[in-house]
Homo-oligomer: A and B are copies of this chain.
């Protein structure tokens, strides 16, 4: 792809309303465009990132026996009345009526739809366990969208739902999914994501984990004990046994504070601390809440009627992309990990009007393309400063530079976006060298 043809503007100035770096860089780099409060359109570079993220998630969901399905965005209110959530969920759920005055809602999560899809299928214990998942648009009418793609109203989510004959089977699967989530975050370039348990146990409550990228710009506060493995989000830490987990991504906005050195509820030592983080995923043991309320049953081995036990597992795609950007950037732009980068290499023809530069760069561009390498090629007649600042904003992990000086020396410079790697290779073998560098980096 030629950068000259890439739709979207890039600019140097940080937009005034951007507090979080990923928000500013996604605006500056031509990744997103504001449409309305908490609603964005995506340009091609972001779409390429999110498609790669989705493919990684898809592979990991398939690897734990997930089946990709699709639920609708628009659902009849009746489905949500069955579970009781039509009444219990507040203004964040959009409700409207269609032309025949039937009440409909916009899906903000899909437990009801999942139960409805498999209610007839799952009538015998022999069908269990199974897991279904989708990538689908969600709309939540948040009161306070913020920070670009970190907290929006419309977003794409991977949501998965597992069904089991008993709690032990759910727990086993839940552990598999927990591991799959760590693999996903590792593969997209966030190996440091931690899982934070939120065990509200006891009174029929549910077990859940949030996956947190620790960063000062995160909107969630995580209570961490320095002496034991106690970790809880602020909400779970304060809510205790009565906490409900139905609607995910609720946040407490720090109405209650935890002081450094407070007493840990588990080890009883004065060792609590608070870190901030972005919730990049969550997993829940739902129990029989939805199967019971929606009357989904199966016949057990001995003929008895039982309610299946459910788990659910979510990852917001746009928020994950923003989190990767948050974890991997400098002042000049994102530094995309190779696995999710919009392009693998950014080819710069510096002073394309100088003798030999354009011909050499064109030839390398052709070779890279025919080798199946994802290359974005800048042959515009612009200054080196503009060329490199645009490349910084595109954030391809590697850059190949062809300039008049390099031509004289018969080399192509190859540098990594994070500046940790740089080399010069002969022009003749540059395509092959780049292929090897990319293979090494994978």
Contacts and interface: CB of A to CB of B under 8 A. Distances in A.
How many copies are assembled? 2
A43 B117 contact: yes
Interface centre among A42, A43, A70, A95 (most CB of B within 10 A): A70
Contact of A5 (B113, B118, B130): B130
A317 B35 CA distance: 25
Interface string A333-376: 00000000000000000000000000000000000000000000
A270 to B, nearest CB: 42
Nearest to A67: B44
B69 A43 contact: yes
Nearest to A129: B5
A95 B98 CA distance: 9
B117 A33 contact: yes
Contacts of A118: 7
A169 to B, nearest CB: 15
A195 B118 CA distance: 40
Given A76-B36, A153-B74, A9 B120 contact: yes
A41 B139 CA distance: 18
A433 interface: no
A96 interface: yes
Nearest to A79: B35
A130 B4 CA distance: 11
A53 interface: no
Interface of A: 5-9, 33, 35-37, 39-44, 47-48, 51, 65, 67-76, 79, 91-92, 94-96, 98-100, 102, 104, 106, 113, 116-118, 120-121, 127, 130, 132, 136-137, 139, 141, 143, 153-154
8 contacts: A7-B67, A35-B113, A36-B76, A39-B76, A41-B117, A74-B154, A94-B98, A136-B137
* A-B residue pairs, 10 tightest by C-beta: A96-B96, A36-B76, A42-B70, A44-B67, A91-B99, A39-B72, A47-B68, A41-B117, A41-B71, A99-B141
